[in-house]
A and B are shown apart, each in its own frame.
Chain A
């Protein structure tokens, strides 16, 4: 089942010619020339969110060799008011980034959506160097569940008073398992594998040596998933510096290219009842966009590895199917065969995924891109195809996802 046929009907106009086509000779390639991070702990009590961003930004600028006061054309900050506890959160974006009186704005969305904005800004020709930032301090949030409740449709869903506002993830898990025959055992295998792989990741405070039995026996959290199958939260900040190919060549010998980006919303949070339960069409639509831009027809043979959504164990399997890495209903079989392990056919979530690293709220997608970036920057020689697919879902109650294709060549 081809990715293209599924989604082409959804938006026929999103057909972006790959960089080499005639008439698009001046299409600019976009590179990631530096990245920095800070935190990645369940709590970072000694730093405010501003100091956390400042640290991540300082590291990113050092790697990229840029001075934000003079070398950066625009800054994109990804955050949401209610997470920050500040009614106009973008007010605090410029200072930690060195962006005061510079073109700066907020994407009220995930860091990968911010990355997509930066990509378009550079492609437009009006900006050469754009910084993308995303951060979260969930440890500061006293009423996290209460805020999630506020995200539920106030007319149709909130009055149901669901015990756990993330319950829709459970509904999707049940529907996915029913459709594909994936079992609780498969879900537990995802969790155990990812938590184990995170042990070698300095950004993974929730990594652990857990067995499949440990996972199955831990208390149910969001049915049918147990506690060890749902990622906890983490405080973190991630900053990336993007540049046009001209600027990138000035700044570095080895950029990591951002060859494709895609993002899509299947349904709004005011219409979750229309979501295709047990599927994630937003990942599929986003992937189509990104693949067409990057010239990818078959992700499993044209890219080397992936960092995909796994905040909920079943999502890793569903994401692989929506990405076209696995055929319909076949992700569990790939998992069983060991195809997704490090060094195997198509390594997935070598970082340990969200299950090891935790969820830094709106920084999650940017963090996933960071993991792919670091692996391509430091270890591209290990792959026949030194390219990566990054896929992230904003999580319940949304049905918005984003996909990026990164390349070391």
Chain B
């Protein structure tokens, strides 16, 4: 993909909103989506009538238990509007804004609402059961794998290749859950220690309970506007500088699991578009996807914010703290705020938006920020979605 010199209209983020993230919310998917959208619009001083187009994200329909889950709440911004649901598994939360970007950059929509909703609580006995159906139906499903299994394999591989210990990796969980104490929507914020993580219940070695994010209900929404509209709406629009996405094949068992090349491809696409040549220097704040603590390190390396296998060492030096050189997951991430899958990714985008406007309150990182990045991941270790924002 070549640098994007032909885009005539820049696209800005002008507002963001979230619901609480909780293990179980009593609101329906429609109500959650509406609530998040309402918050986002209120923060921008807009009404639902101001929204031209809607882009929705929600991960497996089976969680909510509704086929055509996108259709269920497609009228969140009103009737007879262009709406579409886009979907790349766990990568959806950052992909929804990517699609919203071209809704506006194409000139078709002056404003676009990106809304991501997830209710995992309806799935009984446990939402993990839905993941029994993500596998190749012929070659893999008969083996009865579950998600934690395969991530345990990836974590093990990463630990082996990079010499990272569980002690170091656990620091991500400690950092993020502590960061989340300052996040008003957080479900799993806590002051824990590395020991707490290591002593928590073992799920599939080497994954302990406190190494992973919780199951959650929640919704998030972000408002996009064309340059002209954005300048009418706000004094401090945050610009979409780059978008990137890549989807690998289904043969996750044949991959070098220690390095997420699909995240790297997606990041390169976004950096090229943004004109970023040295991401480790030019990205000031990042929200890499952190459903497991090791994933944050894994993704930091895929995003070229650290060299392969260097992230654990930088973590030990507090490099990724809010007061550090390259703060990551200042929101508290999925580990601290929660993981309603599609909404979690969009929450990360919202965080970068707030960070770049210096509106993150107690979560605001110490250093001045110009470029920020949010990234999500999903499927069978397959998809990377990246968005670069700038103020």
Interface set of A (CB-CB < 8 Å, partner B): 7, 10-11, 13-14, 16, 24, 26-27, 73, 80-82, 85-95, 99-109, 113, 116-117, 119-121, 123-127, 147-148, 150-151, 153-155, 262-271, 274, 281-282, 284-286, 289, 293, 394, 397-398, 400
Contacts and interface: CB of A to CB of B under 8 A. Distances in A.
Given A263-B82, A264-B82, A86 B137 contact: yes
Nearest to A288: B80
Contacts, number: 236
Contacts of A121: 102, 106
A262 B80 CA distance: 11
A105 B97 CA distance: 13
Contacts of A281: 79-80
A265 B86 contact: no
A262 B87 contact: no
Given A10-B79, A120-B106, A268-B71, A87 B4 contact: no
B249 A94 contact: yes
B66 A151 contact: yes
Interface stretch (B57-65, B149-157, B179-187, B363-371): B57-65
A105 B95 CA distance: 9
A88 B62 CA distance: 10
A81 B108 contact: no
Contacts of A101: 246-249, 261-262, 265
Interface string B372-391: 00000011101100000000
A185 B44 CA distance: 54
Nearest to A263: B82
Nearest to A92: B250
A270 B30 contact: yes
Interface in B1-28: 1, 4, 6-8, 28
Contact of A105 (B60, B131, B247): B247
A147 B66 CA distance: 9
A293 B107 CA distance: 11
B7 A90 contact: no
A24 B9 CA distance: 11
A106 B89 CA distance: 9
B253 interface: no
B106 A124 contact: yes
Contacts of A274: 79
Contact of A81 (B61, B72, B266): B61
Contact of A14 (B87, B108, B262): B108
B28 A106 contact: no
B1 A73 contact: yes
B131 A16 contact: no
Contact of A268 (B72, B89, B133, B246): B72
A289 B82 CA distance: 9
Contacts of A394: 68, 71
A71 B34 CA distance: 40
